[in-house]
Amino acid sequence: MRKRQLGSSGLEVSAMGLGCMSLSFGYGPAQDPAAAIRLIRAAFDKGINFFDSAEAYGPYANESLLGEALAPIRDQVVIATKFGFKHGLVAEGLDSRPETIRAVTEAALKRLRTDHIDLLYQHRVDPNVPIEEVAGAVRQLIEAGKVRHFGLSEAGVQTIRLAHAVQPLTAVQSEYSLWWREPEAQILPTLEELGIGFVPFSPLGKGFLTGTIDERTTFAADDFRNLVPRFSEENRKANAHLVEVLGQIAAGKSATRAQIAIAWLLARKPWIVPIPGTTKLHRLEENIGAAGIILTTADLGAIESALAQVTVVGDRYPANLQQRVDR
């Protein structure tokens, strides 16, 4: 797989990474650890060297899983993880105090079985802690050799600029896909200006863009999508037209919907590195196949024209979580 640089930082990673959250958290029961480790190692064997985790995925279980899976090849991979929730629990709220960042990093290093974290993100902006203090704490960790690069997740333009002035950001991670294009308005131009890479999560719309989900689909009781307005039965039915259009485009390229959705992101900017997640080997292989699809200017224009006829309905987060993003 070809490599990409995240902005002007010098951090080179595979053109797409593996989002590891679904192996432990968010989409129903956690995967069997042995099967999850096999999938992580299969991703590496197939060219992926960029793996995304967080203390909140479990909590803690995902980092431990990644640490075990990648220990034999640690010097050949780039590991990203995140801090920012009290005790790693989303329900307990935000905590990005410098002392917490230091403690979380030390604990993550042990779980990841490594002496450094390649890319450390603030998971969500904490309104109670100035971002300059957060950036300063990460800067100290970088100076100590425990962290290599700093990132933010779901941060707004002002926060990005303030943090970057204290400790240069390597990457910003936010949701971005054919059905959530909000970053195009302000985030992407700012990142291009500052030389910061962009890491889209949920590039397949939490699975919706694959065409495997319709209004009749049921999710496990602990699947996060049960709470997402965009995944209500009514909204899934309304959004089916987007999937139909994507299917038509994919057929024209002898590809799948998922592959076109990822290839579209790769074609946006050379410093964009999507991190699709999956629990299935055949889906992993399908996603990786997107890296070999080249969308021409004409292809991108046709996609843009087709999408202009589609209106996506439903909020991407429930109201109590939406307030934590885009600060």
**Residue 234 carries which side chain, given as an amino acid letter?**
E
Say if 217 falls within a structural domain: yes
- Distance between CA atoms of residues 73 and 94, nearest Å: 33
CATH, residue 300 = 3.20.20.100
**Residue 325 carries which side chain, given as an amino acid letter?**
V
How do residues 109-129 score in pLDDT, each as one tens digit?
999 999 999 999 999 999 999
Query: What's the rounded mean pLDDT across residues 32-37?
Result: 98
- Domains contained in the chain, number: 1
> What is the enclosing helix (H) or strand (E) of 151?
strand 147-153
User: What is the extent of the structural domain holding 222?
Assistant: 3-322
State the catalytic residue, choosing from 57, 60, 121, 176: 57
Say if 327 falls within a structural domain: no
Token pair in block for residue 253 = 């390229």
Residue 317 designated active-site: no
**Residue 158 carries which side chain, given as an amino acid letter?**
Q
Query: What's the rounded mean pLDDT across residues 86-113?
Result: 97
Say if 92 falls within a structural domain: yes
Token pair in block for residue 141 = 């960790």
- Report the interhelical angle of 157-166 vs 187-194 (nearest 10°): 20
- Short-list 91, 118, 124, 88, CA closest to 12: 118
How do residues 191-201 score in pLDDT, each as one tens digit?
999 999 999 99
Say if 236 falls within a structural domain: yes
Q: Find residue 85's DSSP bridge partners.
A: 94
Whether the pLDDT of residue 270 is over 60: the answer is: yes
pLDDT score, position 327:
58
Tokens 């600060």 belong to residue = 327
**How much is the mean pLDDT over the chain?**
96
Whether the pLDDT of residue 306 is over 70: the answer is: yes
Q: Calculate the alpha carbon distances from 38 to 23, 33, 72, 273 in Å.
A: 11, 9, 13, 23
